Structure 1
């Protein structure tokens, strides 16, 4: 950035404008809005599987189901990367704007100091260019000499202070410019991360949709049945462990508020990168629910896992968050009776489900 007034102000304005462009979130990949499914029994939180007499179990379809799970899981991981980069970019954008404001304010201050220094130089010129001390020595009036000595001392101190303040202001401007440059580099890096994550998300979702589009109607129905069966079996195994007998925690006041908010979102579509009010991804739903309850939490499921307090599963209470999979790529809100509310994946809506339908990594509590 330039050292002159015009250069600094122009740079500051450019920074603010550029930040506005770079900070704009990417266009969401809108998944088709499916019809909301009927709410299951919260205790089992999974529908009882039905057997099709005309379609026997199909190993190929089971392989398709597992392939779809992997594709959507990879999309969820990329979504977390996208959300993390977006969150960092917003913070860096705000920091650059603040630095730009400081640069403008610092330049104004420096201009004022230069005006004061110029006024002092002009005053000295009007006295013939003689230093104040020399003028004082030429005085024939003793009292004037004594009075003048005090003024000279004050003037010397003021001049020294003025020079020191100008130096500090110039150093501040240089530091602000360097900080803004560093923040800009970080913003650019996060922009690239967002773009790469966005590309991967679209690729994974497109691959999943292509795979599903190749199925016949009866195969799609059988695939949906296999998905329900897998969820039911996982939830049943979790409940059969007796874990629900140990979980009897009561929701806190904020926890109740978070659950009420999440419940009100049921039926809204999953859209990656979305955090309401019309659509959500998994961590967008949980972070917004707790924000509405007055407790802001990290935006992504991975950061929620890293930063929030961990609690034992037997101490779980409504409002707590369940983190899923070894890479913490999915999060849901526990609402009691072995059930969760979550935004599952593209093509689905915010729904009530069984807490044990996916591999649980651990439990975190926002209102520790």
Structure 2
């Protein structure tokens, strides 16, 4: 790369990053250009990095730190959109199953109504001929077939029996109408969730594409330094968390189910993160935790936000292996505690399932699937 092009690499990355964040966060695209920064910032001498062999200036630590923070925001927003996508996907599956079940009930109701009409016709014909009821109608009206056989002669006939058939037909018709209304309502919800899922998918792709574009603007040496900054930030947060003495109070032992969940999750180490994935080749954060607990025989909500809402909460000091740590104020990330201050999780796009410090991210709280 030439000297002029090389010296502009980080500036281009920073401009593109800020523009991307502005575009993603603004109500309309028309305002994006108004918030872009001056495309030619001048790093201070004290913050300048070393020069490469061609003499171009390397990115300063402060500039790379700004890039890291904005990348974190983009990937965080992608995680929020992923949770929305997963929630819509889960609702879509449930609603589809409910519609299928309602369709079956409608079929059975129509068959029952047809049978009742046949019986009503048989009763009318029998009464016309002699005032009695045919045996099949008496059997239908009897609460107990054996009672009918034992006391067929005492079965009420005539008008009272006909009213019973009419009442049964009316109830069946009402059931069919209700099934049809329920099915219609479920279809509307299904379509709404399909739209929500499509919007969330679009948002995920937009955020990830913006982050990848930002990273692609950096030189290899800058990307390596950026990775080190990420590691340092996580290590600093973990050290502060451990320094609080929290680990001294954590001594809980995992349940048998928790141990199974931990084993499943740690067996996935090295597999890539993929939004919306539930294995077996790739996972997103809540896909990993939900599948891990499913392998232990315990079904839990699919998304990190629902895991936070629905599962029993425990204090950090009482946490034990297998518990789930929910991160960020909006519950947008989840990991599994494995003991000794460590977690296993699927971090974000471009990363793989890995072990990290439990305090390397801002903890919202802890939930226990097998409380």
TM-score, L = length of structure 1: 0.77
1:205 matched to which residue of 2?
A: 208
Shift of 1:201: 0.3
Does 1:358 pair with 2:361? yes
Structure 1 residues 151 and 367: CA distance shift in structure 2, 3 A? closer
Does 1:81 pair with 2:84? yes
Shift of 1:115: 1.3
Gaps of 5+ in 2: 1-48, 52-57, 133-152
For 2:229 and 2:261, how far apart are their aligned partners in 1? 32
Matches within 5 A, 1:66-105: 66-105=69-108
- Aligned partner (choices 311, 329, 334) of residue 314 of structure 2: 311
For 2:356 and 2:155, how far apart are their aligned partners in 1? 83
**1:210-258 Cα deviation digits (max 9, x unpaired):** 1111111111111111111111111111111121111111111111111
Is the CA contact 1:132–1:152 (under 8 Å) kept in the aligned structure 2? Answer: no
For 1:183 and 1:56, how far apart are their aligned partners in 2? 55
1:240 matched to which residue of 2?
A: 243
For 1:90 and 1:344, how far apart are their aligned partners in 2? 26
For 2:369 and 2:166, how far apart are their aligned partners in 1? 52
- Aligned partner (choices 223, 227, 231) of residue 228 of structure 1: 231
Shift of 1:57: 4.8
Is the CA contact 2:258–2:321 (under 8 Å) kept in the aligned structure 1? Answer: yes
- Aligned partner (choices 104, 120, 130) of residue 123 of structure 2: 120
Gaps of 5+ in 1: 1-51, 134-149
1:166 matched to which residue of 2?
A: 169
2:198 matched to which residue of 1?
A: 195
| Count of aligned pairs between the two proteins | 297
1:333 matched to which residue of 2?
A: 336
1:283 matched to which residue of 2?
A: 286
Matches within 5 A, 1:244-263: 244-263=247-266
Does 1:184 pair with 2:206? no
1:271 matched to which residue of 2?
A: 274
For 1:241 and 1:334, how far apart are their aligned partners in 2? 18
Compare 331-340 and 154-163 and name the one that shifted more. 154-163
1:367 matched to which residue of 2?
A: 370
Alpha carbon RMSD of aligned pairs, Å?
1.9
